[in-house]
Amino acid sequence: MKIIAADVIVSSPDRNFVTLKITTDEGLTGLGDGTLNGRELSVASYLADHVVPLLIGRDPHRIEDTWQFLYRSAYWRRGPVTMAAIAAVDVALWDIKAKAAGMPLYQLLGGASRTGIMAYGHASGRDLPELFDSIRRHLDLGYRSIRVQTSVPGINAVYGVAAQPGVDGKRYDYEPAQRTPLPAEEDWDSRAYLRHLPEVFEAVRNEFGPELPLLHDGHHRMTPIQAARLGKALEPYDLFWLEDCTPAENQEALRLVRQHTTTPLAIGEVFNTVWDYQTLIREQLIDYVRSAVTHTGGITAMRKLLDFAAQYQIKSGIHGPTDISPVGMAAALHLDLAIHNFGIQEYMQHGALTNEVFRQSFTFTDGYLHPGEQPGLGVELDEQVAARFPYVPAYLPFNRLKDGTVHDW
């Protein structure tokens, strides 16, 4: 079998997505997700200008060889744009291989290790009544694990708080990228946040009881000693995890956090290779790996990363916000079902237009996801519908402190 075409399709139904479609001489096609929030066109160019010409004529079955070739022949290694592009190729090739085998992808990864994939949803509120309402709504949707994000007195706009209900009256989960030509400015105050958050978790525990798994995302805003303090303060509320407590490109910082708290830690949604985790995993400084299949080199690289983590009883918590397209979500679900050290899967749910562009066979039943039994990934792209929604500039916000200093967002 030979690759005869590779097309990069950029579309913006509810948000921007970069999709790679690889076509073979036998008529099989495979899809990969190369979406990188706020930098979509860079990945599209990397693929179209520099990767597609390398793919034409290659044997699509040689996935490992293609991965190594794309990684090493570029000379310039790693980085979010490169690794998102490699991931798109890798996932599209796995889709083709599984279709050629007539099996859902998880079968090629060793078969199912569980019957369903526990997912968590994003609840949020500007105050406690709104937050409780959001948690109840997520429980009604079937979620059995809930991420809790809240506004903070004195801060105008905080990451993770759904602004308002959608036009259809339903609450749409928080989508951080805004369709504006420039990134929006938000504000931040770590001391106000550290004072407020434990009270919110106390109230949520009092309202919803001890059993419900609760998660929280610190979104890279704290120093190590602040993160240590927060982890300690949240211990009575038994979090499933505290995510991205510090900007973890400084892996050593987690030693300090770890010395002070038993709150489980999850890190890695902005990482793109196993090298970003070397110290974190080897020294058991985290409990969950947050990488996205789409940002960390695809199924091939994620499998190796998660096998490395498994040696240290570290589990998966694969990134699944709306900026992972249904193609990227499906790839994550096949991996989740197959690996032994599965932890939990983030699942924000896409909007109606996205679901029109990407026809999906994965299911969400009673809080559990399943990738379905279609050969391959189980996702089809409707290119005609996609063409109705051209790229729209959209950016993640950024933070400034009260004195005007730029802060991590």
Sites for Co ion among residues 259-278 (CB under 5 A)? 269
Rounded CA separation 16/359 (Å)? 17
CB-based contact 303:328 (threshold 8 Å): no
How many residues interact with ligand EZ4 (rule CB under 6 A)?
9
Pick one of 24, 35, 37, 246: the residue that binds ligand EZ4 (CB under 6 A).
Answer: 37
Smallest gap from Cβ 287 to ligand EZ4, in A, equals: 15
Rounded CA separation 139/386 (Å)? 32
CB-based contact 303:314 (threshold 8 Å): no
Smallest gap from Cβ 201 to Co ion, in A, equals: 17
Sequence-ordered strand ranges (E) for 211-322: 214-217, 241-243, 265-267, 288-289, 315-318
Q: What SS3 state is found at 246?
A: coil
Q: Look at residue 272 and give the partner it binds from ligand EZ4, Co ion, none, a contact being a CB closer than 5 to 8 Å depending on partner kind.
A: none
List phi, psi (to 5°) of 204.
Answer: -65, -45
Q: Whose Cβ is closer to ligand EZ4: residue 105's or residue 287's?
A: 287
Q: Whose Cβ is closer to ligand EZ4: residue 256's or residue 396's?
A: 396
Integer CA distances (angstroms), 312 to 236, 273, 276, 341, 386, in order:
25, 18, 16, 10, 43
The residues that are catalytic are: 159, 219
Half-sphere exposure of 113 (CA within 13 A, CB side): 15
Check residue 14 for interaction with Co ion (CB under 5 A). Answer: no
Sites for Co ion among residues 214-243 (CB under 5 A)? 217
Which residues on adjacent β-strands are paired with residue 22? Answer: 6, 30
Check residue 40 for interaction with ligand EZ4 (CB under 6 A). Answer: no
Smallest gap from Cβ 217 to ligand EZ4, in A, equals: 5
Smallest gap from Cβ 49 to Co ion, in A, equals: 30
Sites for ligand EZ4 among residues 294-323 (CB under 6 A)? 321, 323
Q: Whose Cβ is closer to ligand EZ4: residue 253's or residue 344's?
A: 344
Rounded CA separation 247/409 (Å)? 10
28-49 as b/e: b if 16+ CB within 10 A: bbbbbbbbbbbbbebbbebbbe
Scanning the structure block, which residue is given the tokens 């889709």?
A: 95
Q: Whose Cβ is closer to ligand EZ4: residue 328's or residue 378's?
A: 328
Check residue 66 for interaction with ligand EZ4 (CB under 6 A). Answer: no
Smallest gap from Cβ 254 to Co ion, in A, equals: 16
CA 281 and chain centroid, separation:
19
Pick one of 95, 269, 276, 336: the residue that binds ligand EZ4 (CB under 6 A).
Answer: 269
List, in order, residues 6 or more apart from 276 with CB less than 8 Å away. 248, 249, 251, 268
Scanning the structure block, which residue is given the tokens 């993640």?
A: 396
Q: Look at residue 221 and give the partner it binds from Co ion, ligand EZ4, none, a contact being a CB closer than 5 to 8 Å depending on partner kind.
A: none
Residue nearest to Co ion (CB): 217
Q: Which two tokens stand for residue 307?
A: 């096998």
Q: Among 163-171, 203-211, 212-220, 387-395, which window interacts with Co ion (CB under 5 A)?
A: 212-220
Smallest gap from Cβ 73 to ligand EZ4, in A, equals: 29
Q: Whose Cβ is closer to ligand EZ4: residue 99's or residue 122's?
A: 122
Check residue 173 for interaction with Co ion (CB under 5 A). Answer: no
Pick one of 95, 189, 217, 276: the residue that binds ligand EZ4 (CB under 6 A).
Answer: 217
Residues in contact with ligand EZ4 by CB under 6 A are 37, 176, 217, 219, 269, 321, 323, 346, 396
